[in-house]
Amino acid sequence: MASSCNYKPSPIIAICFVAFLLFAPITRVFSASPGNSTLQPSEKMLRYKRVKAHLKKLNKPSLKTIKSPDGDLIDCVPCHLQPAFDHPMLKGQNPSDPPERPKGQNSSSSTIDDAFFLFQAWRDSGESCPDGSVPIRRTKEEDILRASSVRRFGMKPAGRVRRDSTSSGHEHAVGYVMGEQYGAKASLNVWSPRVTSPSEFSLSQIWLISGSFGNDLNTIEAGWQISPQLYGDGSPRFFTYWTTDAYQETGCYNLFCAGFVQTNNKIAIGAAISPTSIYNGRQFDISLLIWKDPKHGHWWLEFGSGILVGYWPSFLFSHLRTHASMVQFGGEIVNTRPSGFHTPTQMGSGHFAGEGFNRAAYFRNLQIVDWDNNLIPISNNLHLLADHPNCYDIRGGSNRAWGNYFYYGGPGRNVRCP
């Protein structure tokens, strides 16, 4: 599918944006919050200025704004003004040419049924952003104030580098493949697991990983997540992430920093997914493919069949500039133990893997991309790991319809997980 960003803005549009920047009123962005109550007046003013500056940096001038039924505001931002192009290495450039797809991947024409995009609440009305723009969920003052600091808004907590750590509070149920990899693909069903603390989250995603589990860890991540701290609600949302130094100073979720380049005008990263799967009822899943374009070296994200979302430029990374050394699929939660007991935050559907189809969360049709840009099924190289199997577990299998697959997840705190 051709990128909606391959255009040059007209002089009239350019003049309009200059006028917007010069004359648009500055919105007051400071209000009372629990963290502000203990601040001195000078500290409040400094925080106010930082929040205001960060909102101005993130919320770019838009051609159009669409109000979502869930309360989100989706701004249709000209492609060349999206946050990625604040990066010094992207300033003044156009998005990369469409990538070379992996062999074995069905190519889609540009006449994809528009109904396919209606998996997000903001598209319920049928509206979409004009060609030459990308939909970006508007960041609000309260979003930033929920973060630990303005500087770390949109970033994961630093120091969460060990996949098998029991002290970091991050718990996983995953399948992974070791070795030199150039991409991964899977279909995963979407649920609305309960997240019981504002500082916890529950997600299901694909990871591409390279480097050691130390300060040089590189990751590319995409999937769905529920994060009350980041989004202010309990809705599952489509997300991306990247880091090149183990989540310390680089990278971010979605488009909260200069990194991921979005090229699609009908999918909003960070917007709520609707519908979701129903226990003992209809299952709703999404297909994601991440792979390294052999021509330009960028890591592209594709949704469904042939729907390009955008890419992570190769220059963002050190180890991932060449290839991944591990591909990982599965679920993750944060367990803050606010009451001294294990959190009841759910992973996946909130039910254990043994409950199977229609009840448990799954990943199916697991595939990887090899050195020659071939999309191939995972054979016997898939390893399964559950950090705390009494809280969240995982069970794998293989059949003709689903290829390699696994069920995963759980309720968190229960009689076997105190």
pLDDT in tens, 310-347: 999 999 999 999 999 999 999 999 999 878 899 999 99
Neighbours of 315 (CB within 10 A): 12
Q: pLDDT-derived band of residue 192, with 50, 70 and 90 as boundaries?
A: very high
Structure tokens at 68: 């979502």
CA distance 328 to 177: 6
Place of tokens 């129903």: 278
Is the per-residue pLDDT at 32 higher than 70?
no
Is the per-residue pLDDT at 22 higher than 70?
no
Neighbours of 308 (CB within 10 A): 23
**Cα separations in angstroms, 178 against 19, 89, 319:** 53, 31, 15
pLDDT in tens, 338-361: 788 999 999 999 999 999 999 999
Q: What percent of the chain has pLDDT over 90?
A: 76
Mean pLDDT of 284-300: 97
Is the alpha carbon torsion for 179, 160, 257, 135 positive or negative?
positive
**71 backbone φψ class: left, alpha, beta (φ>0; ψ -120 to 50):** left
CA distance 234 to 252: 20
pLDDT in tens, 235-271: 999 999 999 999 999 999 999 999 999 999 999 999 9
Helices (H) and strands (E) in the chain, counts: 4, 19
**Residue 289: per-residue pLDDT:** 98
Is the per-residue pLDDT at 400 higher than 80?
yes
Output the pTM of the full model.
0.89
210 beta partners: 218
Domain ranges of the chain: 11-99+112-159+169-409
286 compared with 117, residue with greater pLDDT = 286
Is the per-residue pLDDT at 72 higher than 70?
yes
Is the per-residue pLDDT at 276 higher than 80?
yes
CB proximity list for 407: less than 8 A, separation 6 or greater: 353, 354, 355, 356, 357, 360, 361, 362, 394, 395
CA distance 411 to 194: 9
**Residue 12: per-residue pLDDT:** 38
Residue of 145, 156, 147, 137 lying closest to 270 (CA atoms): 137
Residues classed as catalytic:
221, 332
Mean pLDDT of the chain: 88
Mean pLDDT of 383-411: 97
305 compared with 82, residue with greater pLDDT = 82
CA distance 218 to 325: 10
Mean pLDDT of 290-317: 96
Is the per-residue pLDDT at 162 higher than 50?
no
**Residue 41: per-residue pLDDT:** 76
Phi, psi of 37 (to 5 degrees): -65, -25
Q: pLDDT-derived band of residue 364, with 50, 70 and 90 as boundaries?
A: very high
